[in-house]
Amino acid sequence: MAFKANITIDQGTDFSTSIDVIDDNGDIVDLAGYTGAAQLRKHYTSSTATNFTVSITAGSGLVTLSMNAATTNAIAAGRYVYDCELTDGSGVVSRIVEGIVTITPGVTR
């Protein structure tokens, strides 16, 4: 089951957040050989998505989701949903985090 975490992204700025992946015993998961994907959408059934860049630090259990300023600037201010899924070397997909994204509007141009 995915961890629930809501995030706020300031429109037009670089964004990054990190997630520690731990198992049921509280131990760090070795993510060697894993790949990741994460997206935000206006609603769950939306056909339009914006991708996060997903970086995995093998051996540390650390997953980082990020977007550059040009990407966040192109997203209209408002409320969105997101999730992040990891795929292990044998093709098993696990959702590690999901929640609400709030894009706050920018003023400076």
Give the chain's domains with CATH numbers. 3-104 (2.60.40.10)
Tens of pLDDT, residue by residue over 30-82, are 999 999 999 999 999 999 999 999 999 978 899 999 999 999 999 999 999 99
The model carries a pTM of 0.92
The tokens for 28 are: 């760090």
Q: Give the number of other CB atoms < 10 A from CB of residue 8.
A: 11
The tokens for 55 are: 């970086």
